[in-house]
Structure 1
Amino acid sequence: MVTREDAQSILEQLAGPSAQLRDDQWTAIEALVVQRKRALVVQRTGWGKSAVYFIAAKLLRAAGHGPTVIVSPLLALMRNQVAAAERAGVRAATINSSNVADWDEVHQQVKSGDLDVLLVSPERLNNPDFRDSVLPALAADAGLLVVDEAHCVSDWGHDFRPDYRRIRTLLAELGSGIPVLATTATANDRVVADVAEQLGVGGSRSGADTLVLRGGLDRQSLRLSVVQAGGGAQRAAWIAAQLNALPGSGIIYTLTVAQAHDLAALLREQGFQVAAYTGATEAAEREQLEADLLANRVKALVATSALGMGFDKPDLGFVVHLGAPSSPIAYYQQVGRAGRSTDSAEVVLLPGREDQDVWRYFASVAFPSEAMVRNVIAALDPDRAQSTPALEPLVDLGRTRLEMVLKVLDVDGAVRRVKGGWVSTGQSWSYDEQRYRNLDEARRREQQAMLEYQTTTGCRMSFLRGQLDDPELAPDERCGRCDNCAGGTFTAEVDAGALEDMQSRLLRPGVEITPRKQWPTGLSKIGVPLSGRIADGPAPGRVIGRLTDLGWGERLRRVLDGDDAPVPEVMVRAAVEVLAAWDWDQRPVAVLGLDSERHPVLIGSLVDQLAQLGRLTNLGILRYAPERRPVTAANSAYRVAGLDGSWMRPDIGEVAGPVLLVDDVTDSGWTLTMAARAVRQAGAPAVLPFALASVS
């Protein structure tokens, strides 16, 4: 018979001899191990949810049951979990995108019964080999199924991942009597209900079938503050001024990859030990950066949300946000990294005017319309697998959105992933328009709540707990620690000299734009006879800055979002500075502007100024062809098809050197690529693209 003392003994192996098993932890363990129930545990970060499933896994294994399968969403989380399992004497392994070479060995360990715990990413659940050869045995013989960070199952949650919904299929195939545990720290009432429906845990069911453990979400170590420090330069200078005074080591979150790299570079220039950590960071480098933070070899990681769920550094001393996340729930999840085993940790939000622009951008790439989704279904064949790149030319969706659509359709049964790609199943499918409309409205409410968090005079911790429907939150409760309860620890003031220095660093113009090198696959399917390497495109180019830059971003957005007008003198000076620093093989001899519907005056005046200042031949404007149609396509193949033939042949006369091709904003790079091709076909030996701004 399993006892609480057995569980306590394993906990001490996990967390040290001073660790004490909570009553609710034992309640959950007993429900899983003894009663073989399904359970939903919603508890704050640091409460000990992972201890529940590792202790349960070891007790179940000792009783002769099969291995525990943990579906875990992030590599950082998996690495921490494997390390924790080893401390408790639990044999654990993981299957994810960073250890492909180990997959066969891990599969064999599963078959031979040499593993106690297998951690898998949700994406693996529908990998054809894993799904067909490994998963059936696991589903039949598993001792326990754990769905960690279970809010990812719900598209109401802040970090919805379509692959997580495949867990429903796994649940349906589980052997009888196999317990299931779903855990999360960030779920309000709506998300809890949706997770319960998706996974068949918690919700309205009770008694002998399920257990719901939902505790209070107060984090007594966190000191929450909001500092209205102003624009990008002011906020960057504020961080530089305060960083050494912040306790221990921590995380500085940014909303975009560009901001993470920019801020990390600025702080390193001022002598701080920091590094950037984003979704674009290679897996091996991520692991090293996490280790550096854990060992306090860096003061901070400047990170996007890629460093979020599951990263476990109990003594993390601070979390600073340069820009506000779009949801209080997401914000609570990120600040929950701090102060897990310390008496006090600083949490500071530095909101920016551009935050809502970033929110709108991410909202614009949400689930597409019914017509676009049905185009995906229609493009698939029931008998011939097609890869995602092969589907792109057939549907007007970018790669990321297309993959999301395919995953949702897979869960819904309309398509199926097989070796080589995707096939249609022929099953009927309905578009839940009301659900997506409700989701959009919920997102807008969350954004408004995030704005209200910044301006509230009430308790900030109680505000966040209220957004999460904390069952233990009392009316008018105050934490006594946040800036509104205890008085502000920080002021928004920045030393004038430090601010001037930061502004000069941030306003150094010039970002390289890499030219497109390969044509999108499948162009021939939509009538464009182009394939392989691009032989007649532009050379590497330059922009003054990115729209998300801390320095130039705000100035560029103000000009590009305003009424069309001659180029401001400050932009001209910046352009000249960029051109002067450009390490081209051969200096341009002429300048040509791209036709613009939004900014014809801006482009025309910039071309005139650059021609005069640089003593370049002014070729005027590359005009649109009369039959040209505006390009609104989302993916590369459709953009290329739409841009092909968009311009009249320019008259470049006797120009015998590179042509500087000027645009206002570059996004995907295809407009500059196709326009450069038209200029080169007119006789230019090379084209150097230049734009005021890039989107990212």
Structure 2
Amino acid sequence: MNDPELRAEADAVLAELVGAPKGSARLREDQWQAVAALVEERRRALVVQRTGWGKSAVYFVATALLRRRGSGPTVIVSPLLALMRNQVEAAERAGIRARTINSSNPEEWEAIHEEVSRGGTDVLLVSPERLNSVDFRERMLPGLAATTGLLVVDEAHCISDWGHDFRPDYRRLRAMLAGLGPGVPVLATTATANARVTADVAEQLGTGTGEALVLRGPLDRESLRLGVVRLPDAAHRLAWLAGHLDELPGSGIIYALTVAAAEETTAFLRQRGFEVSSYTGRTENADRLQAEADLLANRVKALVATSALGMGFDKPDLGFVVHLGSPSSPIAYYQQVGRAGRGVEHADVLLLPGREDEAIWRYFADTAFPPEEQVRRTLAALADAGGPLSLPALEAMVDLRRTRLETMLKVLDVDGAVKRVKGGWISTGEPWVYDSERYAWVARQRAAEQQAMRDYVSTTGCRMEFLRRQLDDEGASPCGRCDNCAGAWTSSAVPEETLTDAAKELDRPGVEVGPRRMWPTGMAALGIDLKGRIPAGEQCSTGRALGRLSDIGWGNRLRPLLADDAPDGPVPGDVLRAAVTVLADWARSPGGWAPGVPDASARPVGVVAVPSLSRPRLVESLARGVADAGRLPFWGTLAHTGPDASHTARRSNSAQRLRALSGAFAVPEDMAGELARSPGPVLLVDDYTDSGWTLAVAARLLRRAGGEKVLPLTLAATG
């Protein structure tokens, strides 16, 4: 790897890539080592280096050199859509023609396919979910594997289920690796892999043969100073942010743990006059693009984001990262804060942990591989089907939510037990072993990561050293910059007026609860004759809840009240008053029932409660309380006719939830009489709504018994 001419050529490409004058840019020795291994020796390399090290420079420089020597196009597999856009622009500066295939540009796929086929593309960036698309695998993947000149696997830690961000779509890389021509180099890159994940990734990529080059560098980030600001509650955190945001350098990212929290934070900061934008899984693609552009151009102070933004954003001068709440893994935390300070000397990283963080971790802890019994049931259903089964059809047979079911099927697909085909999934008939020891270890690893995050918050030692040791960085040592090494540089004080405003904002109850419009697919297989669109005359109306369990305002107050181990009792006074406030606001809204508005006929004529086996006193007292406040008759509780509490189970898929609810309720005779005598809307009260099927089934019964409209009111909504 000492060819001076190749080195000079590589440095010239780097200069073009970064927009520097010729001769003014030079690859570092470790970068050059990786480039030379790919271009000269055509090796497979695994690069574990900190964010900002220059991994993209390695594969773009290698691409230019390989293309000049007659190699086929580079294929980059990356989950980062925002980073894809940045990389396409960077490649064009170096004369590298790059295109991307991902979920945001399906209308371009055919044209890109043709362009790649005729050799008009130097780099094709592919999102990992494309690897699991039947059409892509059958039409495009074989040709790509045969002609690829360099395969790059970005965020390679996603291959490993030992890691914090396992994505089963990545396992499809095995097929592409197997189809590569002889001597085709492979580069896998990541900034967040400990020793165990590094070894697993190497094995998955076929780089564990002893012939691969593994480049693992120190993970210190000299530009970052890390700190923790501990505050008593969500109102103090919002107020602190509004009071100190202007003190943070440049523009940056504010991470929140949930969509609801991100939206609440964005709204409050905008009210305080800050230019901020929300970036979550609910954000439309066009709005995401605009938010990215605004941050890149420093037109906003911050993006308030969930992990939907993740690592996929390339802004070298990002001045700060603030977390409102702790992520559940210190490795994920290191990954997210690594976006800051790449091209500036100093950047601030602050964590504002909350008491609700662990409840949110538990709520989203639905990633473990399912128990063997559920896996076997799925395999048996596919084997007995005699043809492909779609995800909705499988949901009727397996009690798993769709995202978890799909993840399981992707793993089984790679393991050879099932196969994805047009029309759904089929069984291959191949034997499959449930690796209980591995799955149990992964579950223990998740618990250990959560404990490590608690330890990060409370440690009195160096915070950067702590994170580096979590990533098995042998050179970890005190940084001299963090709040524990050098002292806190920011105050925990919050302006009193701002705190008052934040508390008022978080105290404001009321979110919409959307109704179900369609019955789940496959109910006939369960002996239930419900399919297609729910008739308009049997639908539930849009309702209201005090808050979402995932928000940082009412969610924090409702989670303890609705916890599985919470005692049943009358609704607390402040919660009842909030419910009455929600009703009053609802009445005054368009389509409400307040006197004097055009639609006053929409005023409810009675209140009905949903039967609850776990919290009957809470639900009935809430229903009676709002009935008294609204001067409405309380018509009682729907009869519960089911054998157990299965209709209250959370985390089931729609088909299974509806099966549990089928026949679980009935309209008592006296309630039916009231409905017949008093036609009009009915206010339906429950403690919380998750899937929406309890409200849908109860509303259908009430409407078929004579209710003109069913208006649901719950304490909480999930999501």
How do 1:430-449 and structure 2 match up within 5 A?
Answer: 430-449=433-452
Shift of 1:37: 0.7
Q: Give, in whole Å, the separation in 1 of the partners of 2:153 and 2:615.
A: 51
2:570 to 557, 566, 569: 566
1:170-213 Cα shifts (integer Å, max 9, x gaps): 11111111111100000000110110111122x4x43xx21111
Q: Give, in whole Å, the separation in 2 of the partners of 1:211 and 1:547.
A: 47
User: Do residues 610 (structure 1) and 626 (structure 2) align?
Assistant: yes
Q: 1:592 to 1:383 in 2, by over 3 A?
A: closer
8 Å contact kept, 1:628–1:645: no
Shift of 1:383: 5.7
TM-score by length of 1: 0.97
The letter of the residue matching 2:660 is G
8 Å contact kept, 2:368–2:439: no
Q: Give, in whole Å, the separation in 2 of the partners of 1:420 and 1:309.
A: 34
The letter of the residue matching 2:683 is L
Structure 1 counterpart of 2:656: 638
Shift of 1:682: 2.4
1:115 to 115, 121, 143: 121
Shift of 1:141: 2.1
The letter of the residue matching 2:697 is M
1:646-683 Cα shifts (integer Å, max 9, x gaps): 11323322232211111111111111111111222222
The letter of the residue matching 1:529 is D
Question: Secondary structure at 2:396's aligned position in 1?
Answer: helix
Shift of 1:35: 0.5
TM-score by length of 2: 0.94
1:471 to 469, 474, 489: 474
Shift of 1:366: 2.5
What 5-or-longer segments of structure 2 have no aligned partner?
Answer: 593-598
User: Do residues 186 (structure 1) and 192 (structure 2) align?
Assistant: yes
How do 1:619-634 and structure 2 match up within 5 A?
Answer: 619-625=635-641, 627=643, 630-631=646-647, 632=649, 634=652
Q: Give, in whole Å, the separation in 2 of the partners of 1:418 and 1:691.
A: 42
Moved more, 383-392 or 292-301: 383-392
1:310 to 305, 309, 312: 312
1:325-375 Cα shifts (integer Å, max 9, x gaps): 000000000000000010111101010111111111222343211111122
8 Å contact kept, 2:681–2:710: yes
Q: Give, in whole Å, the separation in 2 of the partners of 1:560 and 1:94.
A: 45
8 Å contact kept, 1:538–1:689: yes
Q: Give, in whole Å, the separation in 2 of the partners of 1:419 and 1:607.
A: 49
Q: Give, in whole Å, the separation in 2 of the partners of 1:560 and 1:36.
A: 59
Structure 2 counterpart of 1:596: 612
How do 1:105-184 and structure 2 match up within 5 A?
Answer: 105-184=111-190
The letter of the residue matching 2:700 is R
8 Å contact kept, 2:261–2:551: yes
The letter of the residue matching 1:125 is L
User: Do residues 58 (structure 1) and 64 (structure 2) align?
Assistant: yes
Q: Give, in whole Å, the separation in 1 of the partners of 2:303 and 2:111.
A: 34
1:219-263 Cα shifts (integer Å, max 9, x gaps): 011110100112111111111111111111111001111111111
How do 1:337-416 and structure 2 match up within 5 A?
Answer: 337-380=339-382, 384-416=387-419
Q: Give, in whole Å, the separation in 2 of the partners of 1:260 and 1:590.
A: 37
User: Do residues 218 (structure 1) and 220 (structure 2) align?
Assistant: yes
Q: Give, in whole Å, the separation in 2 of the partners of 1:489 and 1:573.
A: 42
8 Å contact kept, 2:47–2:190: yes
Structure 1 counterpart of 2:693: 670
Q: Give, in whole Å, the separation in 2 of the partners of 1:605 and 1:132.
A: 59
Structure 1 counterpart of 2:595: none
Identical columns (%): 62
Structure 2 counterpart of 1:487: 487
8 Å contact kept, 2:258–2:551: no
8 Å contact kept, 2:613–2:645: no
Structure 2 counterpart of 1:647: 665
The letter of the residue matching 2:229 is V
Shift of 1:123: 1.4
Q: 1:271 to 1:326 in 2, by over 3 A?
A: same
Q: Give, in whole Å, the separation in 2 of the partners of 1:180 and 1:84.
A: 21
8 Å contact kept, 1:413–1:427: yes
The letter of the residue matching 1:499 is L
1:658 to 681, 685, 698: 681
Q: What is the alpha-carbon root mean square deviation over aligned residues?
A: 1.5
Structure 1 counterpart of 2:335: 333
8 Å contact kept, 1:65–1:142: yes
8 Å contact kept, 1:629–1:646: no
How do 1:68-79 and structure 2 match up within 5 A?
Answer: 68-79=74-85
What 5-or-longer segments of structure 1 have no aligned partner?
Answer: none
User: Do residues 500 (structure 1) and 515 (structure 2) align?
Assistant: no
The letter of the residue matching 1:176 is P
User: Do residues 450 (structure 1) and 453 (structure 2) align?
Assistant: yes
